[in-house]
Amino acid sequence: MVTGYREAREALGDTRFSSDRFRHRDALQLTPEEVAAGGCPHAAAQAPAKHGLFIFMDPPEHTRLRRMLIGQFTVRRMRALEARVTELAVDLVEGMRARGNSADLVADFALPLPSLVICELLGVDYADRDRFQRDAAISLNIQAPEQERTAASGRLREFMRGLVAGKRTAPGDDLLSGLVHGDADPALTDDELVDIATTLLTAGHETTANMLALGTFALLEHPEQLAALRADPALIDGAVEELLRYLSVLHLGISRVATEDLELGGVRIRAGETILVSVPEANRDAEQWDDPGELDVTRGRGAHLSFGHGVHQCLGQQLARVEMRIGYAELLDRLPGLRLDVPAAEVPLRTDMVIYGVHRLPISWD
pLDDT in tens, 199-253: 988 888 889 999 999 999 999 999 999 999 999 999 999 999 999 999 999 888 8
| DSSP symbols for 314-347 | -TTHHHHHHHHHHHHHHHHHHSTT-EESS-GGGS
Q: What angle do CA 159, 160, 164 make, to 5 degrees?
A: 125
Work out whether strand 254-258 and strand 17-18 pair parallel, antiparallel, or are unpaired: antiparallel
Work out whether strand 102-104 and strand 362-364 pair parallel, antiparallel, or are unpaired: antiparallel
Quote the mean pLDDT of the chain: 91
**pLDDT given at position 310:** 94
Phi, psi (5° rounding) for residue 363?
-130, 160
Q: Is 103 helix (H, G, I), strand (E, B) or coil?
A: strand
**pLDDT given at position 49:** 58
The yes-or-no verdict on residue 39 having pLDDT over 70 is: no
Task: With beta carbons less than 8 A apart as the criterion, state whether 93 and 85 touch.
Answer: no
**pLDDT given at position 295:** 97
Among the listed ranges 48-62, 112-126, 236-250, which one has the minimum average pLDDT value? 48-62
pLDDT digits (tens, 9 = 90+) for 140-187: 888 889 899 999 999 999 999 999 999 999 999 899 999 999 887 788
Q: What is the CATH number of domain 5-361?
A: 1.10.630.10
What mean pLDDT do residues 279-288 have?
96
What mean pLDDT do residues 194-199 have?
92
Instruction: Give the distance, in angstroms, between the CA of residue 143 and the centroid of all CA atoms in the same chain.
Output: 19
pLDDT bracket for residue 21 (50, 70, 90): confident
Alpha-carbon torsion (106, 109, 112, 114), positive or negative: negative
What mean pLDDT do residues 69-92 have?
88
**pLDDT given at position 308:** 94
**pLDDT given at position 44:** 52
Task: Give the residue, 109 or 51, on which the prediction is more confident.
Answer: 109
The yes-or-no verdict on residue 41 having pLDDT over 70 is: no
CA distance 195 to 153: 10
Q: What angle do CA 241, 212, 302 make, to 5 degrees?
A: 5
Q: Is 364 helix (H, G, I), strand (E, B) or coil?
A: strand
Torsion angle, alpha carbons of 323, 328, 333, 337, to 10? 150
CA distance 195 to 204: 14
The beta-strand segments (E) located in the chain are 17-18, 102-104, 254-258, 262-264, 267-269, 274-277, 339-340, 362-364
The β-bridge partners of 363 are 103, 340
The yes-or-no verdict on residue 121 having pLDDT over 70 is: yes
CA distance 325 to 37: 49
Q: Is 31 helix (H, G, I), strand (E, B) or coil?
A: coil
pLDDT bracket for residue 261 (50, 70, 90): very high
pLDDT digits (tens, 9 = 90+) for 301-359: 778 999 999 999 999 999 999 999 999 999 999 999 999 999 999 999 999 998 999 99
CA distance 228 to 1: 36
pLDDT bracket for residue 29 (50, 70, 90): confident
- Distances 309 to 12, 17, 34, 268 between C-alpha atoms, Å: 6, 13, 31, 22
pLDDT bracket for residue 40 (50, 70, 90): low
